[in-house]
């Protein structure tokens, strides 16, 4: 029984599982492997995002000026134009946004080519400004407009198509609108910067627009896989967390629908603001966009306005909301933080360790319930941390690996390997402890089986009269008729030994059955002597009391047995007279044996004797064991002798029983320097008191 391996098993399993989980984390996050776990993690992130309401300050510093089917229909009715509208309308709207005090404007509408054929209203001559020129002039007056740059379809890779040169020169700068979905097709991350061979460095549209509003100097920005560091004009440094692969996790806080935010306005509404202001009907400009970032984009659901796809918020989210959420996050300083490898490993290993301990210490059903509760608590913590702190803790690998797989592995170990361990424990203990105590041992498989020193009580009991019984010459006449000579000496000795052995086994069986009933662990038989102890393998703080009570009951039962055998001997004697008269062989009388008992309490070492492959027995040894053996030798017949330590322990649990013991002086003991105080427990007095108590109860 490899107890060392059994003790180390949970640690070995935890170690192996820990290494495996770290390897899986590395494969998933660094190599892009384990797609099924990745998909589960991404889906769990989307679910967490949908559980959250936007923060109270979300959208206050950034909004969307959106165009949709309703707005284009109104434009068609009032101005007789279709989408895409002439550029002069963009110029009018941009002037209105500037008048209303917008900090910066980002266009998720692309101006990659000129349209010189379009004319501004009331301009009928060829020399009149073109529609493009009206917009260009508005861009110059604004000075705080970022034009979107889509992917260049003529080139492969992350390349952008910049606005037409006149627009690009008039605008403050350009920002790329590239979006690269995750493997499941959902847009969650964007590249903060695209290094284009022809266009140069192009920052993401939302980042560029917010940086313009905040006065950030992106020319001096430092980009690492985990962080974007940007200084501002006042010398302060702004930090934008990335995902470890140089991508920004889009903080999808704001839902991109017209009804979802009261802080957005439609294209047509702002055009109306401009008309009222210019006509003098509305007084000064509206303050709706005062000190706010504006993203101009489409909320349309159908072509040519449709520009939507799957995001954590839904299957058809307008992509202009990407820039809106990024700009809003930069204005508020509220980003999504992706934990690094050390944090992920710490969380995963902590969960795994907790589940390992629970699965090892608790019963299977309770361990499963605890693992489920721990998983639920961790999932709730992940939701709260994402909402309150913007921390994207991993959920898939900790739940699938750290809790589920670890729990299943530990449970499998307990059900399969511990089954063999219990089978061996049963083979060792089923003959030396009571069935009840055996089940308690088997129900506590984590009891340490290493040799250990602890306070226990040891019991020695020797059958008195056994030697005289084997030498009784009367046994030679068993089964012989009068006048018949006994058989040869060898046959006579064998007959005598068998009868003596049957007799002593009767007495020993009574002793063992009684002490096991009181929770003893039977150590061994030594000829006609029994050794047992209390307090191991299971702890028992009442070990001394149980040992003394067992000794008292053993003496009482030996006395009762002898009384029955004495009465039977009288019957046998009468029957033998008749048998002798009839010429039949006489029946042997019953031998009457007694018991001497020694008990001591103290520190002893308990453990298995023998090698791992060939265990002998579970035993105790030490000075206090030797003292108990000396007390048994001193006890004589029908006496219970105990030490001072045993008396003190019994006094704490049962003062009445301790009071029945009387001191018989200090006696020298072999191997012990000082005389030892010895006490005798009067089992006859105890029995008398019990009988009187029972009579009083009646």
Co-location of 104 and 253 in the same domain = yes
- For the stretch 559-603, pLDDT in tens is 999 999 999 999 988 888 888 888 787 787 888 999 999 999 999
pLDDT confidence bin for 433, thresholds 50/70/90? low
587 in a structural domain = no
- For the stretch 633-651, pLDDT in tens is 999 999 999 999 999 999 9
Co-location of 82 and 117 in the same domain = yes
d(CA 327, CA 292): 10
Please compute the mean of the pLDDT values over residues 264-293 and round it to a whole number.
83
How many domains are there within the chain? 3
Co-location of 189 and 269 in the same domain = yes
d(CA 60, CA 69): 25
314 in a structural domain = no
Would you tell me how many other CB atoms lie within 10 Å of the CB of residue 36? 10
Co-location of 126 and 185 in the same domain = yes
Helices (H), 390-488: 396-397, 406-412, 418-429, 435-442, 466-470
Please compute the mean of the pLDDT values over residues 94-103 and round it to a whole number.
94
Cα–Cα distances in angstroms (integers) from residue 219 to residues 101, 203, 204, 225, in the given order: 25, 10, 13, 18
Please compute the mean of the pLDDT values over residues 447-474 and round it to a whole number.
77
Co-location of 14 and 160 in the same domain = no
d(CA 567, CA 564): 5
Co-location of 216 and 99 in the same domain = yes
pLDDT at 262: 62
pLDDT at residue 688 is higher than 60: no
pLDDT at residue 691 is higher than 70: no
pLDDT at residue 695 is higher than 50: no
**What is the token pair recorded at 687?**
């029995």
Co-location of 90 and 65 in the same domain = yes
- For the stretch 4-56, pLDDT in tens is 555 677 778 888 888 888 888 888 888 878 788 889 999 999 999 988 788 88
User: Which of 407, 426, 445 represents a domain boundary (last residue)?
Assistant: 426
477 in a structural domain = no
pTM above 0.75, yes or no: no
pLDDT at residue 614 is higher than 80: no
pLDDT at 442: 63
User: Which of 332, 357, 386 represents a domain boundary (last residue)?
Assistant: 332
- Which phi and psi (to 5°) does residue 538 adopt? -95, 140
108 near 146, Cβ under 8 Å?
Answer: no
pLDDT at 289: 92
- For the stretch 116-161, pLDDT in tens is 888 777 644 455 678 999 999 999 999 999 999 999 888 877 889 9
Co-location of 146 and 80 in the same domain = yes
684 in a structural domain = yes
- For the stretch 522-547, pLDDT in tens is 888 888 899 999 998 888 999 999 99
pLDDT at 285: 77
Co-location of 74 and 223 in the same domain = yes
pLDDT at 235: 87
pLDDT at 2: 52
Task: State the CATH number of the domain containing residue 664.
Answer: 3.30.70.1230
Give the three-state DSSP class for 380. helix
49 near 313, Cβ under 8 Å?
Answer: yes
pLDDT at residue 283 is higher than 70: no
Q: Report percent pLDDT > 70 for the chain.
A: 84
200 in a structural domain = yes
Q: What is the DSSP string of 324-378?
A: HHHHHHHHHT--PBPP-HHHHHHHHHHHHHHHHHHHHHS-HHHHHHHHHHHHHHH
355 in a structural domain = yes
Which of 243-257, 546-560, 629-643 shows the lowest mean pLDDT across its residues? 243-257
d(CA 686, CA 229): 87
499 in a structural domain = no
User: Which of 276, 303, 332 represents a domain boundary (last residue)?
Assistant: 332
Co-location of 155 and 234 in the same domain = yes
d(CA 698, CA 686): 18
pLDDT at 417: 67
Co-location of 172 and 32 in the same domain = no
pLDDT at 36: 86
Co-location of 537 and 683 in the same domain = yes
pLDDT at 24: 86
Q: What is the 3-state secondary structure of 556-586?
A: HHHHHHHHHHHHHHHHHHHHHHHHHHCCCCC
Mean pLDDT of the chain: 85
580 in a structural domain = no
Q: Which domain holds residue 650?
A: 453-462+506-565+593-697
d(CA 418, CA 436): 20
- For the stretch 286-318, pLDDT in tens is 888 999 999 999 988 888 888 899 999 999 999
């Amino acid at each position: 029984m490899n107890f060392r391996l059994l003790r180390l098993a949970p640690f070995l399993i935890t170690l192996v599982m820990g290494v495996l989980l770290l390897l899986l984390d590395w494969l998933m996050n660094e190599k892009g492997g384990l797609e099924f776990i990745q998909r589960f993690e991404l889906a769990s992130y989307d679910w967490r995002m949908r559980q959250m309401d936007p923060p109270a300050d979300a959208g206050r510093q950034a909004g969307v000026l959106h165009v949709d089917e309703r707005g284009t229909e109104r434009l068609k009715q009032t101005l007789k134009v279709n989408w895409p509208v002439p550029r002069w309308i963009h110029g009018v709207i941009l002037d209105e946004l500037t008048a209303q005090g917008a900090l910066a404007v980002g266009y998720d509408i692309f101006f990659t080519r000129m349209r010189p054929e379009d004319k501004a209203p009331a301009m009928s001559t060829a020399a009149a400004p073109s529609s493009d020129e009206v917009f260009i002039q508005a861009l110059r007056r604004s000075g705080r407009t970022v034009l979107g740059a889509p992917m260049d379809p003529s080139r492969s890779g992350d390349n952008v198509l910049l606005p037409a040169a006149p627009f690009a020169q008039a605008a403050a700068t350009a920002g790329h609108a590239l979006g690269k979905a995750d493997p499941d097709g959902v847009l969650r991350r964007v590249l903060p910067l695209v290094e284009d061979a022809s266009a140069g460095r192009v920052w993401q549209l939302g980042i560029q627009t917010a940086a313009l509003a905040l006065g950030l100097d992106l020319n001096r920005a430092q980009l690492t896989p985990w962080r974007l560091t940007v200084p501002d004009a006042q010398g302060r440094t702004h930090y934008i967390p990335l995902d470890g692969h140089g991508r920004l996790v889009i903080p999808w806080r704001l839902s991109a629908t017209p009804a979802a935010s009261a802080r957005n306005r439609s294209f047509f509404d702002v055009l109306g603001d401009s008309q009222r202001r210019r006509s003098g009907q509305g007084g000064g400009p509206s303050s709706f966009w005062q000190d706010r970032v504006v993203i101009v984009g489409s909320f349309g659901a159908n072509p040519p306005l449709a520009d939507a796809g799957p995001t954590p918020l839904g299957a058809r989210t307008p992509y202009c909301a990407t820039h809106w959420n990024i700009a809003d996050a930069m204005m508020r300083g509220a980003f999504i933080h992706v934990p690094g490898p050390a944090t992920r490993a710490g969380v995963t290993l902590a969960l795994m360790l907790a589940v390992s301990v629970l699965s090892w210490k608790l019963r299977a059903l309770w361990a499963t319930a605890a693992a489920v509760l721990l998983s639920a608590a961790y999932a709730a913590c992940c939701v709260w941390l994402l909402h309150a702190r913007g921390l994207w803790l991993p959920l898939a690998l900790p739940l699938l690996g750290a809790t589920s797989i670890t729990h299943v592995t530990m449970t499998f170990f307990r059900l399969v390997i511990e089954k063999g361990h219990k089978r061996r424990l049963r083979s060792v203990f089923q003959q030396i402890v009571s069935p009840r105590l055996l089940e308690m041992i088997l129900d506590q498989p984590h009891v340490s089986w290493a040799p250990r020193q602890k306070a226990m009580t040891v019991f020695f009991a020797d059958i008195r009269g056994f030697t005289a019984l084997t030498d009784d010459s009367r046994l030679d006449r068993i089964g012989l008729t009068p006048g018949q000579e006994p058989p040869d000496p060898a046959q006579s000795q064998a007959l005598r030994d068998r009868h003596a052995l049957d007799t002593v086994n009767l007495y020993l069986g009574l002793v063992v059955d009684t002490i096991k009933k009181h929770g003893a662990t039977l150590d061994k038989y030594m000829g006609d002597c029994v050794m047992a102890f209390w307090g191991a393998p299971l702890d028992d703080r009442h070990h001394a009391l149980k040992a003394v009570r067992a000794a008292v009951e053993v003496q009482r039962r030996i006395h009762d047995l002898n009384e029955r055998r004495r009465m039977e001997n009288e019957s046998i004697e009468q029957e033998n007279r008749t048998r002798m008269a009839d010429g039949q062989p006489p029946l042997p009388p019953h031998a009457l044996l007694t018991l001497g008992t020694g008990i001591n309490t103290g520190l002893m070492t308990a453990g298995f004797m023998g090698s791992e492959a060939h265990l002998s027995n579970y035993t105790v040894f030490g000075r206090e064991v030797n003292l108990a053996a000396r007390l048994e030798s001193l006890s004589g017949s029908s006496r219970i002798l105990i030490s001072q330590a045993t008396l003190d322990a019994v006094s704490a649990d049962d003062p009445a029983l301790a009071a029945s013991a009387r001191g018989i002086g200090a006696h020298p003991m072999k191997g012990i320097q000082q005389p030892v105080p010895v006490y005798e427990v009067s089992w006859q007095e105890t029995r008398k008191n019990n009988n009187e108590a029972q009579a009083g109860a009646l």
